[in-house]
C-alpha cells in the first residue's frame, strides 16, 4: 500500500501526543515523564489512524478529529503499560525499548497507565466543533471498548487461562481477542464514523469491517510470533509457545491460520463496498495485514 498518507498522519499524531503531555503543567514531573516514555515510544499508531480513516470513509476530513484520535492511542498505551507488568505478561521489552516498569518501577508504571486512561476522556471532550451528544456517544464507545465488556474483559479471560492445562477452544479464543484486541479497534472505527455523521447503515458496515479487522490483526499477530523477525517486531518471537498460550496457530495450524486471516480480510473488504473510493485507505490497510512484518 502507499504509505504516504499513513506517514503524514503518524507525524501529525506524534506531534499532537507530545503536546498533550506538558511537563510544566504536570503535578508530578516523574509521572508525566513515565507517561510520555510509553506514549512516544513509537508504534504503528493504528487506532488513531483508523479513527481518521473511518471519518474519511463517511466523507469528512479525518484529520479534523485529532483529539479523539489521540485519546484512543492514550487508552491503548495505558493497556500496554499494564499488560507488561510482572503480574500480567511480565515483559522486559516493548517496541525494542525497556518496558515502563523496568525504567520507572511497578508503582509508577501503574500510575502512568491510570493517568493515560483517565486523561484520554478529558482529551476527547476537548475535540472542537462537535455537539455534546456526539461527544457523549464517542465517550460511550471508548468506555465500552476499554472496559469489562471490551479490552479489560478480554485481558481477564487471558489472565485466567494462563497456567491451565486445558487449552481454550477456537470460539473461546475468538471471544477473548474480540475483547482484548478487537474492542479498541471497534471503538476507534465506530468513533470516527460517529463524529463524521454516519448513517445507521454506514455505521453497521464499518462495525463489520472493524470486527474483521480486529480478528485479522490478531491472527496475523499469532502468525508473526511463529515466523516473525525479532529485530523487526521489537519483542521476542515464540513467546506464545513458551508460555503455552492458545493461539490461532496452535489451535489450527500455520497454514490454516493464514487461510483464516485471508478469509477474514476478504470479509472486511466486502463490508466497505458501499463506500467506494472513500474507503480506499481502509481497504488497503486491512489487506496490508496479510503482508505485515511487525
Question: 237 with 228: CB under 8 angstroms?
Answer: yes
Which domain, by its residues, includes 244?
Answer: 4-291
Question: 193 with 137: CB under 8 angstroms?
Answer: no
pLDDT class for 242, splitting at 50, 70, 90?
A: very low
Which pLDDT belongs to residue 22? 77
Cell numbers linked to 284: 488497503
What is the C-alpha separation between 123 and 78, in angstroms, rounded?
Answer: 14
Average pLDDT of the chain, as a whole number: 91
Torsion of CA 6, 7, 10, 12, to 10 degrees: -110
Q: What is the pLDDT of residues 173-194, one digit of tens each?
A: 999 999 999 999 999 999 999 9
Q: What is the pTM of this model?
A: 0.92
Q: What are phi and psi of 169, to 5 degrees?
A: -75, 170
The yes-or-no verdict on residue 235 having pLDDT over 90 is no
- Mean pLDDT calculated for residue range 241-253: 76
Which pLDDT belongs to residue 96? 86
Residue 69 C-alpha from the chain's centroid: 11
Measured from the Cβ of residue 254, the count of other Cβ atoms closer than 10 Å reads: 14
- Mean pLDDT calculated for residue range 259-281: 97
Q: Which of 49-58, 166-175, 189-198 has the lowest mean pLDDT?
A: 166-175
Top mean-pLDDT range of 3-7, 245-249, 277-281: 277-281
Domain of residue 47, CATH code: 1.10.600.10
Instruction: Look at the chain and count its residues.
Output: 294
The yes-or-no verdict on residue 72 having pLDDT over 50 is yes
- Count of structural domains within the chain: 1
What is the C-alpha separation between 47 and 69, in angstroms, rounded?
Answer: 7
The yes-or-no verdict on residue 240 having pLDDT over 70 is no
Which pLDDT belongs to residue 236? 52
Which pLDDT belongs to residue 233? 46
Amino acid at each position: 500500500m502507499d504509505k504516504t498518507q499513513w506517514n503524514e498522519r503518524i507525524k501529525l499524531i506524534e506531534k499532537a501526543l507530545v503536546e498533550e503531555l506538558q511537563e510544566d503543567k504536570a503535578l508530578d514531573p516523574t509521572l508525566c515523564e513515565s507517561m510520555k516514555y510509553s506514549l512516544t515510544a513509537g508504534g504503528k499508531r493504528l487506532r488513531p489512524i483508523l479513527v481518521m480513516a473511518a471519518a474519511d470513509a463517511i466523507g469528512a476530513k479525518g484529520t479534523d478529529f485529532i483529539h479523539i484520535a489521540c485519546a484512543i492511542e492514550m487508552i491503548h498505551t495505558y493497556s500496554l503499560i499494564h499488560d507488561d507488568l510482572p503480574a500480567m505478561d511480565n515483559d522486559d521489552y516493548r517496541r525494542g525499548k525497556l518496558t515502563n516498569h523496568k525504567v520507572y518501577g511497578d508503582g509508577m508504571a501503574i500510575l502512568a497507565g491510570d493517568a493515560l486512561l483517565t486523561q484520554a476522556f478529558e482529551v476527547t471532550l476537548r475535540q472542537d466543533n462537535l455537539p455534546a451528544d456526539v461527544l457523549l456517544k464517542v465517550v460511550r464507545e471508548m468506555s465500552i471498548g476499554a472496559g469489562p465488556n471490551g479490552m479489560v474483559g478480554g485481558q481477564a479471560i487471558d489472565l485466567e487461562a494462563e497456567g491451565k492445562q486445558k487449552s481454550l477452544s477456537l470460539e473461546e479464543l475468538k471471544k477473548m481477542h474480540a475483547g482484548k484486541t478487537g474492542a479498541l479497534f471497534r471503538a476507534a472505527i465506530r468513533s470516527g464514523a460517529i463524529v463524521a455523521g454516519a448513517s445507521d447503515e454506514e455505521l453497521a458496515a464499518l462495525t463489520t469491517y472493524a470486527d474483521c479487522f480486529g480478528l485479522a490483526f490478531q491472527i496475523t499477530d499469532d502468525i508473526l510470533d511463529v515466523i516473525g523477525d525479532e529485530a523487526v517486531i521489537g519483542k521476542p518471537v515464540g513467546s506464545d509457545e513458551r508460555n503455552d498460550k492458545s493461539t490461532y496457530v496452535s489451535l489450527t495450524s500455520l497454514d490454516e491460520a493464514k487461510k483464516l486471516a485471508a478469509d477474514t480480510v476478504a470479509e472486511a473488504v466486502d463490508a466497505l463496498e458501499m463506500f467506494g473510493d472513500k474507503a480506499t485507505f481502509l481497504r488497503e490497510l486491512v489487506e496490508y495485514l496479510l503482508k505485515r512484518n511487525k
